[in-house]
Each structure stands twice: as structure tokens, then as C-alpha cells.
Chain A
Amino acid sequence: MILITSFILIPFLAIFIIPFITFKWKGFLLFAAILVEAAISSYFAVNTLMGETYNFAFQGSLITGVINLQIDALSGWFIMIFNLIFLTGSFYGLFYMKAYKNQSHNISMHYIVMILTHASLLSICVIQNSIAFLIAWEIMAVSAFFAVIFEHEKTGTNKAGLNYLIQAHVSIVFLMLGFIYVAYKTGSYDFSAISIYSEQHAGAAVYALFIFFFIGFAIKAGFVPFHTWLPYAHPAAPAHISGIMSGVLIKAGIFGILRMLLLIKTNYTTLGYIILTFSVISGLYGVMLAIVQHNLKKLLAYHSIENIGIIGIGIGLGCVGLGSGNLILASLGFAGALLHVLNHALFKSLLFYTAGIVYQATHTLNIEQMGGLIKKMPQTALLFLLAAIAICGIPPFNGFVSEFIIYSGLFHWLQNPSLMSIIAAIMVVFGLVLIGGLALLCFTKAFGVVFLGSPRHPLHHEVKEAPFFQLLPLYILAFFIVSIGLFPKVFLSILSRPLSLFTGVTNLSFLSPNSTSIDSVQHISWMSWGLILFIFFVYLIRYFFTKNRKEIISTTWGCGYIAPTPKLQYTASSFVRSYSKLFGVLLFFNKKEKLVHGVFPKEAHYETRPYDKMEKWLIDKFLHQLTTGFNKFHFLSHGKLQFYILNGVLFILAVLFIPVIIDNILSFIAFLKQL
């Protein structure tokens, strides 16, 4: 209990001290606060992953009722992930922020909201009371908003931030409606009321309840078509915030969906199919748009949508497994999803951190202006490459492990006797394979254009590698990425507790010999080791063979052309041109062009900007109709103060008298009835 109290007090203390100290100490205090908070929460989390469950009760207010805290294995797993990313993120952030050293107030604000985001995210994992949960959720949403608009003097940042803030509140509205409905029906704001309600009722009402929660959490997680805030907020934020947002903040949505699945007791098969549909669409749509992006961070943001889709496929599979009583399928699905949550947090934050280093070195995020950075910043390049391979789900790194588990689940599902599930399974396999292939196209483009070749744009300053300490958190993330790939069993055995919450099987471990598909993970580990060792072996042979051979350095073969310039290189747009022609139906480009005319052509230009078709149809069109609708009332805002006061008075009178009038009418009707 004393730990919980100190957990709540530390952010307050830090908030009151941070504004009054120097830049160096601010950073120190930020890291210290997050470290202590992480230490406290990790203490609980580690114990829950060993099999313990903690329950605390706070004497809440009259409105909320008793506020229960419960730290179970699911919370524990997410708390560990949140802590890892926040620790690396804030440490990296200290160096990233050096460039803004003179904006003292701005930095104070930024550090405070980072502490708040961390604390509120951790609280979301444990709170079992709807009202307290919503408050924590709101604190998270608002503090993340302030973290995003750190560079508020830049154009577009505020707009992106506001976009996020509004959508975050749409999400809260959905959650609120869900919670209020349950409280209205059962009279309790405690989470246990949700299970009680769903056990007593069946059918449409429970599905509707789940859909409300799902939409609420899906907006946060970034499922298509609720994803439109994500590609704006991530590029606008500073790199460490993008990493944290993409790595863990959107995972709060995943956590919410998983928590609701534990609470709502209904036919899971239907929920599974709903989640699968959303997930496959998210995965495909996310990566399809990622490929055409030229802003490095925006590209990564769209990839977050894709990976949320992959996580969702795992969750959907797990639900179908639960619904049909197929516990192996359920464990494979949820294991894949939970592991992919960790994996995505690792490689996506690593990618964003490297993108931040690239941004600070080149002062641009437009990948068409980069190139050849591997020679200037080899460590950053190799870290990016590692994360890129991992995110494509290619062995020997962590992305492959979780995708393999999900694939195993899918092929296990394929053995199901019902035709419906066979066809669904093959469709999801198709989707997942296509996602993998498109991710490969996207990351070969990103890595190739940003780091390889020769510089495409002259930079007027020296580009150099980040200092070692800034790279240190990146190496820690890389270490985890590699070790999950090489020792997947260790990490999967940690998962057995959170999994047992879903499947109810406590002794299902990934080590048991009679479990069918699960022991393959051991082979994956061997193959990964084999692959790495074999690469070393072949490279060694190559080294000894070529050691004494003559090696000439020359220009790139230009097919006979002898004056190549960097402009001749393949660009990012040309790399994906055939792709964007093929998928043109699904993509949308804003074009600005001035074509060449006449015998003596003047200046011409051609510019394309990828835009989101889904956003155009769902958000922009809706907003447009909303504004035209509201414009009908434009005559009311004519700027004359007297009329405004009059309107106010009329409004107050209406509020006062309408109930009285209705009352009179009712009594008159009653009087008539008596007659």
C-alpha cells in the first residue's frame, strides 16, 4: 500500500520541482521520476508474472464508489512493456532535447507531461473502476497531446495535435457510453459489473456493449478506419514521443480490448470474427499507405497501423479459439498477439529513435532528400536495418517469432471441420502474407533510400553520428530484439501467466512435450542460431578467400555513361512507382503540376502528396457536411452584442419555462382524461 501511495505522490513531487531547476537537473529529475515509478510498478508486475495477483481498495468518493485496483498478469505484462519503452525513451529524449535547451518553459512542460503520461498509462493497467479509469484515460490523452505539440511553433504541429485530441475524445465518448450503460443497468461503476451484466444478459445488447468498447479502444489503438489521427500525430511529435506513442500509447487501446475480452462473457466466436475483419483490413491498409509515404515518420506511423492489425489478428484468433473451445488455438492466438505487442513496441520505438537521429542530423524528414547516410552514421544505419528486418517479420529476429506463432494458429485453425472457418483462415493467411510482402517492399525502400546510395540533396552542415549515450537506449532495444529472436522460449514462458487468464489453462507452458504446435518455437530458436552462425561461417570463408585478392574501388557501373550524378539514382517514388500504379484504386494522391509547354519551355514542376482515401471519405466528407450544416445557423453570429445577450436571455427563459409549460400541458391532459 505504501508503494502505491508513493507511486501516486512521486509524479506530483516531480511536477512541482521540475519548473524551478536548470536544464540539466530537469532531465535528471525526469529520468529519476520515471525510473522510480518504473521500479515500483515493475516490482508488482514481475510478481504477477510469477503468478501472484494483487488487490487494493481505495475509499473513493460518493460518485465513484470504492475504487478497486487489481494487478494481474495481463497488467503485469503491459506494465513491463510500458516501463521498458518509457525508460529508453526518456533517456534518449534527454539527448534529443539538447537541441531545444533554451526553451526552458517548454521543456518543463514537456517533461511534466511525460511523467504524467507514464503514470497514467500505468494506472490504466490496474484501475478497476470505470470513472477512475476514464479520468486516468483522460489524463493520458491530454498529457500525450501536450507532449505531441512540443514544437508548437512549427506549422502543422498544432493541427496534428488538435486532430489527435479530438479523436482521443471521441474515443472517450464511446468508452463513457459503454461504462454508463453498464452502470445504469447494474448500478455499479466497478469493472466486475461488466462481467455480471454480460453473464446475465445475452445477445445483441452485449455485442453492442462490446462494439462500443471496441470502437473506443480501437481509436486509441489505430485500427482502420479509426486510424486517421495517427499519421499526423506521430510525425509532429519529437522522436522520443513518437517512439513512446507508437510503442506503448496505442498499446493502451490493445490493453483495453484485451481487458474487455476478459470481462465481457459472451459468444467469443462472433467477437473473434469482428476483430479479425477489422485487423486484416487495418494490416493491409496500413502497409499499403505506408509504402507511398515520403515522410519517414509518417511511413513509420502507417506501419504502426499495420502492426496493430497483426496484433488484432492474434487477438481475433484467440477469441475464435475460446469460442470454439479450442484451447490450443486460443493460446496460440493470444500468445502471438501479446508477444507481438512487446515486439512492436521494441522495433517501432527503435525505428522512431533512429528516425529522430536522422532528423537531427539532416533537418528533414523527406526521404527523397536523404541518401548515403550509412557512411556518416553507420551505427544508426545498422540499428535501423535491424529493426527493419525485425518489423518485416524476417528471421532471425523477434518479429518472426510472433508472426510464426500467429501463422501456427492460423494453420491450426485450418484443420477445423467447419467450412466457414476454413475459408476465413485461408483469407487471413492471404492477408498476413500480403502484409509481410508489402512490409518488405516498404522497408527496403525506406532503408535503401535513407541510408544507401549517395546523398540526394546537398546538406549545408556536417552530418555526424549521435553520441554513444544517445545510442545506448537504442542498443538496449536492439539487444531485446535479437534475444527474443534467439531465445523465444524464455519470453514465451513469461507469457504463460497472462495467457492462463484467457484460456484458463494454468499449466500450459511452451515447454510441454504433448502440446502440438507450440514446441516448434524451440526449432525456430535453433534455426535462428543456425542462420546467424552459418552467415558468420560463410563470411569467414569469404574473408579467407578474398584476403589476398586484388580489390579495386571504382565508380558504379553506369551502363556506359561515365558522368553519373546522384540525381540519376533511383528515388523513393520511382522505387514504388509500379506498386502505386497497381494499387492506384486504393490510393489517393494530391497532385500539383505545371507541365512543360512550347518550344522554349519555362520552369515546370511536378509534386505529389499521398493522401488517405479512407480519411477523405470518412472524415473530410463528414466534416464538410457538418460545417455546411452549421453554416445554416451562420445568421446567428452577426457580431451584434445586444442580440447575443437577447439570445442568452431567451435561452435561459426557455430552460426555465419549458418544463413548466410541459407540466401544465400534462396536467391539462390529465384533466381532460378525468372528464
Chain B
Amino acid sequence: MLSLLLILIAAAFFSGIIVRTKSIASGRKGPGVFQPIKDVIRLFKKGAVYSETTSIIFRIAPTIYFASVVMAILVIPFDESKGIISFKGDFIFFAYVLALGKFFNIIAAMDTGSSFEGMGASREALFSMFAEPAFFILMGSLALLTGHTSFQEIFYSLHVGSYISYAITTLATFVLIMITMIENSRMPIDDPKTHLELTMVHEVMILDNSGFDLGLILTTGYLKFAMYGALIVNLFIGMVPYQYSIPMFFIIQFIIAVVVGLIESFMARFRMGHNAQYIFALTSVSLLIFFGVLLVLEKFV
């Protein structure tokens, strides 16, 4: 319950902080921290334009996308408190329910019959496919390290043994930040501020969405950021008491947002043709974590 609340609060600020960081880094005045929320509220009040090519799929897709991310947030724990629902293997559910949202996002883009949106859909499908093994191997390694298979138990018992686990969590943080960037279509993978449809991934998929649906999609994006942020936070807090962990949650989320902003300000996008390989290389970092865990457990003798 606590995690849901914290993620909702963090989601409200996250994108604003990214935008703010970017504008400060590039020496612009830039919009305020609450501008993304204001944008969404404005969109919720608007009417919509639908393409004549689209069908019912296009209209329900944003709803399902939003619902899938909210369901995924429900299994994320925080400190001692479990997620709304916690069970063995909940991270499998987490990954697969996000896939439901992706599925609908992709077919909604295909529904418009536009060449650009099909391109984005194709890329999104390919990239998210390559990101998935990294996540599963990461979770598998952590499950192996702790001997548990649910988010809460894994995170809670992560730092019980020794301090070597922090080395593993540092690598895991890298993997999770990269996955966050891929899932949210941010900088090294995708440039949300590009002006050319040909080089977009996520933005081009939602070209035809407007009004309430677009608002839902944007809200989902903010939630997703905070959701992955919460996962990263969980890697570090372990079993710290609440009076420390809650401030830590916001501090780490803030740091992640600033880091994302800085990455977007100072890095160029990967070459689109080679994106898939870069993402797949993430799996090898996950494998590194896996072998690290094997070393910690002294499986290699």
C-alpha cells in the first residue's frame, strides 16, 4: 500500500524534474516542475480526433496500457511493507503484465495504418523483446542470491549477508536504469524530443492519439518512470526503518530523475540500426551479475 502511495507521489514530480534538469543544463529558463502534470490535466479536458482508419483497438489500447502499468505497480514492495499483492514469482507477473500494455500499444499503432507509426511499433516490439532477458536474468540472480522468489522477500533479504551485495546492486542499478530508459523510450535508445518522425520510437507510435487517451498515455509514462525508480530504490534500502527509508526513497528518485535529465542533455542517441545490439548487450551485464552471485555463493570452487 505504502509503495503505491509513494510511487504516485514520485510520479507527479519525476518528469518535471527531468525537464527542469534539462533546461538548467542547457541554460534555458524552462517550464516548472509541475508542467507535465498540468499538460495531462489539460489533455483530460480536451476532445479528441480519431483517424477514420482506426477501430475499437485504438480506443481501448491506452486504457489497457494504463491499467497494465498500474497492475504492475501493485506488486512492487517498499521496505517492510509488501505490495498490494505479493506472491512467489510476482516479478514474472510484473514483466508479463507490462507486456500486455506493450502488446496493445503496438497494435494500436498498427491500427492507424500509418507508415511512421508502424515503424515505431516495430522498433518498440524489437527493443522491449531484447530488454526482457536482462530483467529476468537479473531477477533470477537476485533470487539465487537470496533464496526467495518474490519482490518483497528478495529485496528485504538482499543485504543481510555481507557488503559484497552492494557491489551486485550497483551493477543491478545500471541494468535497471537502462531498462527504465528502454521501457520509457528515453535518451540513449530513443530521443523523445526529436523533430523527425523517422527517428522516433515511442513518440511516433502515439502520433494519432489525442485528448483523454493521450493524457492516459502520458500519465502511464510518468508512472512507469516512478515504478522503475521504486525498484531501484528497493535495491538499496533493504530493511532500513521507515523514518530513513521514506526520505531515501524520494532522494534516490530525485537522483535518478536528475541523472536521466543529465544523460539526455549530454548524450547522443545510439544509432537506430545498432540499438538492438546495445540492448542485447545489457543481457551480458545481467550475466555478469549472475556470475557475481555464483562467486558470492562460492559455487565455483
Contact = CB atoms under 8 A, between A and B. Distances in A.
Contact of A408 (B70, B88, B118): B88
A295 B214 CA distance: 35
B64 A549 contact: no
A556 B208 contact: yes
Interface string A413-457: 011000100100110011001101110110111011100111000
A552 interface: yes
A453 B112 contact: yes
Nearest to A397: B100
B56 interface: yes
A448 B121 contact: yes
Contacts of B49: 551-554
B92 A404 contact: yes
A393 interface: yes
A556 B114 CA distance: 7
Contact of A535 (B50, B64, B130, B141): B64
B218 to A, nearest CB: 14
Contacts of B141: 426
Contacts of B277: 582
B122 A556 contact: no
A524 B56 contact: no
B126 A578 contact: yes
Given A556-B114, A568-B115, A570-B121, A452 B85 contact: no
B129 A438 contact: yes
A372 B207 CA distance: 19
B255 interface: no
B78 to A, nearest CB: 19
B48 to A, nearest CB: 6
Given A452-B110, A545-B44, A531 B56 contact: no
B129 A520 contact: no
Given A549-B46, A553-B50, A574-B122, A452 B99 contact: no
A91 interface: no
B143 A535 contact: no
Contact of A534 (B51, B71, B213): B71
Interface in A520-577: 520, 523-524, 526-527, 530-531, 534-535, 538-539, 542, 545-546, 549-559, 564, 566, 568-570, 574-577
Contacts of B129: 434, 437-438, 440-441
Interface in A343-396: 371-372, 374-375, 378, 385, 389, 392-395
B14 interface: no
Interface in A145-160: none
Interface string B111-127: 11111111101110110
A579 interface: yes
A395 B266 CA distance: 39
A269 interface: no
B31 interface: no
B99 A394 contact: yes
A276 to B, nearest CB: 16
B292 to A, nearest CB: 13
A179 interface: no
Given A411-B89, A556-B51, A556-B112, A392 B130 contact: no
Nearest to A540: B63
B211 A546 contact: yes
Nearest to A568: B115
B149 interface: yes
A389 B294 contact: no
Contacts of A487: none
Contacts of A520: 87-90
B197 A531 contact: no
Contacts of A568: 114-115
A40 to B, nearest CB: 40
Q: Is the interface of A mostly helix, strand, loop or mixed?
A: helix
B192 interface: no
B48 A555 contact: no
Interface in B172-201: 197
A271 to B, nearest CB: 24
Nearest to B44: A545
A201 B244 CA distance: 65
Contacts of B89: 404, 407-408, 411, 517, 520
Contacts of B117: 556, 570
B7 to A, nearest CB: 16
B30 interface: no
A437 B88 contact: no
A516 B87 CA distance: 10
A191 interface: no
B90 to A, nearest CB: 7
A351 to B, nearest CB: 15
Contact of A394 (B100, B114, B137): B100
Contact of B140 (A429, A441, A545, A574): A429
A532 to B, nearest CB: 9
Nearest to B147: A415
Nearest to A577: B122
A400 interface: yes
Contacts of A378: 55-56
30 contacts: A385-B107, A414-B140, A422-B299, A429-B137, A433-B136, A436-B132, A438-B129, A440-B128, A441-B125, A441-B126, A444-B106, A448-B110, A449-B110, A454-B53, A520-B88, A531-B71, A531-B97, A539-B60, A539-B63, A542-B212, A542-B213, A546-B48, A552-B48, A552-B50, A553-B50, A553-B52, A556-B112, A557-B207, A566-B113, A570-B119
Interface of A: 371-372, 374-375, 378, 385, 389, 392-395, 400, 403-404, 407-408, 411-412, 414-415, 419, 422, 425-426, 429-430, 433-434, 436-438, 440-441, 443-445, 447-449, 452-454, 516-517, 519-520, 523-524, 526-527, 530-531, 534-535, 538-539, 542, 545-546, 549-559, 564, 566, 568-570, 574-579, 582
Given A539-B63, A582-B126, 20 more contacts: A385-B107, A394-B100, A395-B97, A408-B88, A411-B140, A430-B283, A433-B132, A436-B96, A517-B149, A527-B85, A527-B93, A531-B68, A531-B71, A534-B70, A549-B47, A570-B115, A570-B122, A578-B276, A579-B126, A582-B277
